[in-house]
Amino acid sequence: EADIYQTPRYLVIGTGKKITLECSQTMGHDKMYWYQQDPGMELHLIHYSYGVNSTEKGDLSSESTVSRIRTEHFPLTLESARPSHTSQYLCASSVDREGSEKLFFGSGTQLSVL
């Protein structure tokens, strides 16, 4: 059973506001990820982390930033939200089993920027 938590579940906010999406996992996984998903579309990787103090940008360009100060915590920040940031944000962590990484997802944050 995966123990990965995201807050808030839903967020409606005005343009220009700074927001932080929280993600925590209690499984001790080193690798963590942020994906963005629009309805009916692929999950796109926007950030990932190998471990503490390690962060990398993913394949989809994003104006968000992330930090990894503790193993269990991987927050995502938008300094100035815009309507184009409206999307579902999914946090995940992974464990190497049978030589590949299996992803465990949080419940997601649905962000709406007005």
Partner 1 sequence: QKEVEQNSGPLSVPEGAIASLNCTYSDRGSQSFFWYRQYSGKSPELIMSIYSNGDKEDGRFTAQLNKASQYVSLLIRDSQPSDSATYLCAVNPWTGGFKTIFGAGTRLFVKA
| Contacts of partner 1 in 7-36 (CB under 8 A) | 31, 35
Give residue 77's Cα distance to chain centre: 10
Q: Does 52 bind partner 1 (CB under 8 A)?
A: no
Q: Does 104 bind partner 1 (CB under 8 A)?
A: yes
What does the alpha-carbon distance between residue 114 and residue 27 come to, in Å, rounded to a whole number?
35
**How many C-beta neighbours within 10 Å does residue 66 have?**
23
Rounded to the nearest 10 degrees, how much is the dihedral formed by the CA atoms of 84, 85, 90, 92?
A: 120
Question: Please, which residue, 13 or 45, has the CB nearer to partner 1?
Answer: 45
DSSP 96: E
Over the window 54 to 83, marking each residue x when it contacts partner 1 by CB under 8 A and - when it does not, the resulting string is ----xx------------------------
Residues that bind partner 1 (CB under 8 A): 31, 35, 40-43, 45, 48, 58-59, 90, 94, 96, 98-108
